[in-house]
Chains A and B, each alone.
Chain A
Amino acid sequence: MNQEFKPPRGKISQIKGKCISLIGNDIDTDRIIPARFLKCINFDSLGESVFEDDRELLRGKHPFDKEESKDASILIVNSNFGCGSSREHAPQALMRWGIKAIIGESFAEIFYSNCIAIGIPCFTLPKNSIKDIQKYNDNKNLFLEIDIENSFAKSKDLNFKLEIKESSRKMFLSGEWDATSTLLENEKLIENKFNDLPYLKFNSNYL
């Protein structure tokens, strides 16, 4: 786990790092961070508890405990990763452990949008490509350089194209993934909408 955590800020165009593979479909956010760790009013200490129960059961053999995964920052997963609960604690825990990008066959929707909102790019690849990369990484630790502008990953002897939603790609390159200020630029339009919505007229201020 990285000792000093600095959240990403601004434009994100490149991510470099060691890969860590986590095999399995439908890995839900309860497994990524069990509910008991949600009893907190900030995300600071979540990194150490990521996959706590799975790691406990595997006693040192979980990918997140292996010596060769130390300092890894690019997570390689299979299908429907992050399904279940909407808890942002899940990507926050991964990020605080050291994950900066995820490559997978597919992602659950809310998990994906949480990752974008906190600055973790998620890329997709077909099932067999993911399996190949996971196998490769098991044999020779893969170190990737991801270029977001061109959706491309490079390593010593493996280069491949990555898929990313166009809107997400643009948001990382422009820094708009950190959405609040962009949204507030349209303050006038928001107020117009507030004044125009039919139900806000027939629902008087009851609260």
Chain B
Amino acid sequence: MQVSQNTLFDKVWDLHKVSSLPGGSDQLFIGLHLIHEVTSPQAFGALKDKNLKVKFPNRTVATVDHIVPTDNQSRPFKDNLAEQMIETLERNCIEQKIKFFNIGSGNQGIVHVVAPELGLTQPGMTIACGDSHTSTHGAFGAIAFGIGTSQVRDVLASQTIAMNKLKVRQIWCEEKLSNGVYAKDLVLHIINRLGVKAGVGFAYEFAGPAISALSMEERMTICNMSIEGGARCGYVNPDETTFRYIKERLCAPKNKNWDKAVKWWQSLKSDENSIYDDVIKLDASKVEPTVTWGITPGQSIGINQQIPHLEDLPLNDQFIAEEAYEYMGFKPGQSIKDTPIDVCFIGSCTNGRMSDLRVAANVLRHQKVSKKVKAFVVPGSEKVANEAKQEGIDKIFKDAGFQWREPGCSMCLAMNSDKLIGNQVSASSSNRNFKGRQGSPKGRTLLMSPAMVAAAAINGKVSDVREFINK
């Protein structure tokens, strides 16, 4: 039974509700629909089969990210299937009059990096995309969630979907993160504490002093990984930090409309007397640099902790822990620190933004990547890449021995040629450490913050980044 009242989630949901459907779910209007090459072609195909057109073409925006090569982006792509996918998206966007930010436009990149950069993502919107990390946009106080291809079809055809309203859990984070501890560490800590399926049926509201102190890019990292905690949607109430970020961006409201927008956005935040279905409190100052040791994003520990023994885990987590020991080749009680690393990857919709690259570059300045490690950085968007070049950050990475690549999703999910080989171990700033996720069926992924990836690259093993930045 739903009890939440007067939260941002309730307000935005109710505002977008079109009707109650006969089955009991709600018909929800989608204010902004984002599409990419992997989950949209079948939806356009289905639309054609049903003889339907896109209802509001200017409420859908497209870019290309999952399949793009990051070494050589000249067309046609070397990979025929990837070329076929980008061509299909290009054709669908032309036929249906949808704005497409293609490679070379200056605005191409990972869909969840691009939309906020353009000012498309704003408080109070409902945002859907055929991608589970759509929760990222909740950082702005939007209700944003991933959908499947059939729902992409429904949004294209009707700008609405059928969905059951979610419950709301507030995750209140006291104090603030300590030096060398980042948003990524906090969200990994939250997922570890609540579990990977605790969020099913919930929207997560991230709040409290530790969240208010975060930049927009850090809030995006937190909301991005709501889905790893099982929550389809996560959000932060909008505040001055939010408005400052949006102001002057290409698609931000301008002039008189700006003032109207800010006034409306301010009215959306959860009321002081709002009611939640559940509230969790934690102390952010206690969070350490956090690393995953297993095969779910919930299997993580602080850098100075040991891989847990079976008997120290809740009964429900023991089965998957045994699977993880075997797959990862780790023994219970072993330290995660000093685990040898083969590949270092900085990028993804979780941690491929300007602030992520800056933090990693600060660790890498005047340092060299271990000779045993292959390290590469994939900026989240063309804009991030250009800004990094202007700041000379690309040079710091290259001087340290990182390969500097073109923007895309890359080895987060390895749909292009960036893949682990055999049972290589990667230190990765991405979001999923599932079996085989990074392109090799035996590949092993340790998730961590971009700063921690940089530290691992230098030492060739899992390291505490605080030893670099506190020198």
Contact = CB atoms under 8 A, between A and B. Distances in A.
Interface of A: 24-26, 28, 30-31, 34-36, 38-43, 53-54, 56-57, 79-80, 83-89, 91-92, 106-110, 113-114, 117-118, 165-168, 170-171, 174, 176, 179-180, 182-184, 186-187, 189-190, 193-194, 197-200, 202-207
Given A34-B436, A180-B50, A198-B264, A174 B22 contact: yes
A38 B432 contact: no
Contacts of A174: 22-23
Interface string B101-130: 000000000000000000000101100001
Contacts of B260: 198, 202
Contacts of B466: none
Interface stretch (B51-59, B374-382, B387-395, B448-456): B51-59
A39 B201 CA distance: 30
B132 A86 contact: yes
Of listed B131, B132, B414, B415, residue having the most chain A CB within 10 A: B132
Contacts of B124: 198-199
B31 A197 contact: yes
B197 A170 contact: no
Contacts of B434: 28, 30-31, 84
B280 interface: no
A202 B146 contact: no
Contacts of B82: 39
Interface of B: 15-16, 18-19, 21-25, 27, 29, 31, 38-39, 41-42, 45, 50, 52, 55-56, 58, 61, 66-67, 79, 81-82, 84-85, 88, 99, 122, 124-125, 130-132, 134, 145-151, 153-154, 157-164, 196-197, 200-201, 227, 230, 232, 250-251, 253, 257-258, 260-261, 264, 296, 316, 319-320, 323, 413-415, 432, 434-437, 439, 441-442
Contacts of A56: 441
B197 A31 contact: no
A84 B316 CA distance: 19
A30 B437 contact: yes
Given A168-B23, A190-B55, 12 more contacts: A31-B434, A39-B79, A42-B41, A117-B151, A167-B164, A170-B23, A176-B162, A180-B50, A180-B157, A190-B158, A202-B258, A207-B58
